[in-house]
Amino acid sequence: AQTVTQSQPEMSVQEAETVTLSCTYDTSESNYYLFWYKQPPSRQMILVIRQEAYKQQNATENRFSVNFQKAAKSFSLKISDSQLGDTAMYFCAPLIIQGAQKLVFGQGTRLTINP
């Protein structure tokens, strides 16, 4: 079974600041992807960034980047130059390639960007 821990229930930063959300996970599988999803208030879950576990290079997507430490099973998300529209719940989720390929979500971090 997989477990996901997001140790920061809530975070709050000022607009334009950089913020890092932490995530640790536990899996015995070797072939998996890792995702960060964003869920804005009353809106649908959307993908922020994706990392294949076999890749050593950290994924980046515009202002979003990850720090993937496979041995430590750590997968943090860094948001640079934060914007008001980044306010949302953020969920870390590993996805095992075999079988159902279902996402297992952490409890989330509520991020608020203040003007």
Partner 1 sequence: DTGVSQDPRHKITKRGQNVTFRCDPISEHNRLYWYRQTLGQGPEFLTYFQNEAQLEKSRLLSDRFSAERPKGSFSTLEIQRTEQGDSAMYLCASSLPRGVTGELFFGEGSRLTVL
* Binding-site ranges for partner 1 (CB under 8 A): 4, 33, 35, 37, 43-47, 50, 91, 93, 95, 97, 99-108
Minimum distance from residue 72 beta carbon to partner 1 (Å)? 21
Q: What is the number of other CB atoms lying within 10 angstroms of the CB of residue 20?
A: 15
* Burial zone of 106 (CB within 10 Å; 0-12 exposed, 13-18 middle, 19+ buried): buried
- Do 90 and 48 touch, CB atoms closer than 8 A? yes
Q: Which is nearer to partner 1, 79 or 96 (CB)?
A: 96
Identity of the residue, 35 or 68, whose beta carbon is nearer to partner 1 in the bound complex: 35
Is 14 or 101 the residue whose CB approaches partner 1 more closely? 101
Burial grade of 78 (CB within 10 A; 0-12, 13-18, 19 or more): middle
| Tokens found for residue 107 | 């409890």
DSSP 59: P
At its nearest, how many Å lie between partner 1 and the CB of residue 90? Answer: 10
Residue 37 or 75 having the CB closest to partner 1: 37
The least CB distance from residue 73 to partner 1, in Å, is: 17
The least distance separating partner 1 from the CB of residue 69, rounded to whole angstroms, comes to 20
